Amino acid sequence: MHSKKNISTDNTTMLEKSILNHYREQFGSDPEIIVRAPGRINLIGEHTDYNGGLVLPAAIDKAIWLAMGKRSDNLLKFSAYDLQDEFQGHVITLKKSEKGWPNYLLGVISELQKDGVEIEGVNVAFGGDIPIGAGLSSSAALESGMLSGLNQLFDLELKKMDIVKLAQRGENRFVGMNCGIMDMFASVMGRAESVVRIDCRSLEYEHFPFHTPDYTIVLCDSGVKHALVDSEYNTRRRECEEGVHLLQAVLPGIQTLRDVPLAALLENQARLPPVVFQRCKYVVEEIARVFAACDALKNNDLKELGDLMNQTSEGLRHGYEVTCAETDFLVDKATEQAAVIGARQVGGGFGGCTLNLVKASESNRFIENMQAEYQQRFGRSLVCHVVKLADGVEIMAA
């Protein structure tokens, strides 16, 4: 169960206050709880989660805040502060909304209902500072935050792992995005100044300290929100499954690409259509890179970690083909600079942010350089974020 904190402390953020006030304006009373649900980055292990592989994400200090209060009339009233939009639904006749955003909240209620858990209605006002469609998992934050809040309000006695799994089910079944488990895992299980290594086959996880005073994590947001991200993502996933299916003829014990050694994949290249082989090779190599990255972290060898991130970047671009001209440009310009030890696109792909490991003393100059280059090449401004690694979902009591 999550610990409760008092929301009226000195460190109450502006954002939290805005959401609290928004709740009061919308619903005419105080919320019972406020939930902080963070976004995430991923150091390495991209597109490996749904292949039973490893990932190395972290929750960040950008979050969605949800102010919540119970209702007893079976109504669901949601208010999106940033979008200035409202939704009203009913728990008995719960169905997908054409507006899009309510589905992240409705999806987790729908999954709770499938598990026989009844909710008697809820008010939710939410908003935050995770850029949407930027590869930082604002949707998983919303799902994880909603579930954690419902858990607290209705004493559902869900464990953190239940919340992670339910959030993923909501996104897969209700929203229709066939995502893996990484994003919600990081949002719920994150820990300040740490990354978490998740084995997406066994769901075992371990936190690794990531306290790096000499290096800063800088995100460069390309501002590209690719419209095809869901369908292309689902296609990649199908290509991996096809690869596994075809390889099972000669490797009968395998369940996912996690079980396929690189040598066995190379030996059986001729069995796979070229594109499927290319996708599988990227994934198998990426899973191996996560193991190597963990060794590098244990040895405090950030240069090696940066090299591995750069290899991932190449793989995402040429093997898995999930990058775009803008993020390729940002990666190229970043790696030209001596202050950068690793740079790559983060998240599902086709736009969003690049993640850069930058010498701390040079990070301001790095940001200025990148903004100037981007403006010159694409004629629009580049938003950069310096992020810190944060704790996972937290409940504050009103």
How many residues belong to the site for ligand GLA (CB under 6 A)?
Answer: 11
Is residue 239 involved in binding ligand GLA (CB under 6 A)? no
DSSP per-residue string spanning 33-50:
EEEEEEEEEESS-TT-GG
Site residues (CB under 6 A) for ligand GLA, limited to 118-157: 137
111, 143, 183, 326: which one binds ligand GLA (CB under 6 A): 183
Residue 139 CB, shortest distance to ligand GLA, in Å, is 8
Whether 129 is catalytic is no
Residue 387 pairs in a beta bridge with: 217
* Residue 75 CA from chain centroid, whole number: 29
- Active-site residue identified among 30, 61, 155, 183: 183
State which amino acid sits at residue 325: A
39, 69, 127, 180: which one binds ligand GLA (CB under 6 A): 180
Distance, CA of 334 to CA of 354 (rounded, Å) = 9
- Residue linked to tokens 């490996």: 48
Residue 31 CB, shortest distance to ligand GLA, in Å, is 28
* Residue 112 CA from chain centroid, whole number: 22
Distance, CA of 244 to CA of 110 (rounded, Å) = 31
Residue 233 CB, shortest distance to ligand GLA, in Å, is 7
Q: Give the closest residue to 167 by CA, choosing from 222, 215, 108, 124.
A: 108
In a 3-state reduction of DSSP, which class is residue 317?
helix
Residue 268 CB, shortest distance to ligand GLA, in Å, is 25
Longest Cα separation, the chain? 66
Residue 273 CB, shortest distance to ligand GLA, in Å, is 22
Site residues (CB under 6 A) for ligand GLA, limited to 45-104: 46-47, 49-50
Stretch that binds ligand GLA, among 12-20, 44-52, 254-262, 307-315 (CB under 6 A): 44-52
- What amino acid positions are annotated as catalytic residues? 183
Binding residues for ligand GLA (CB under 6 A): 46-47, 49-50, 137, 179-180, 182-183, 347-348
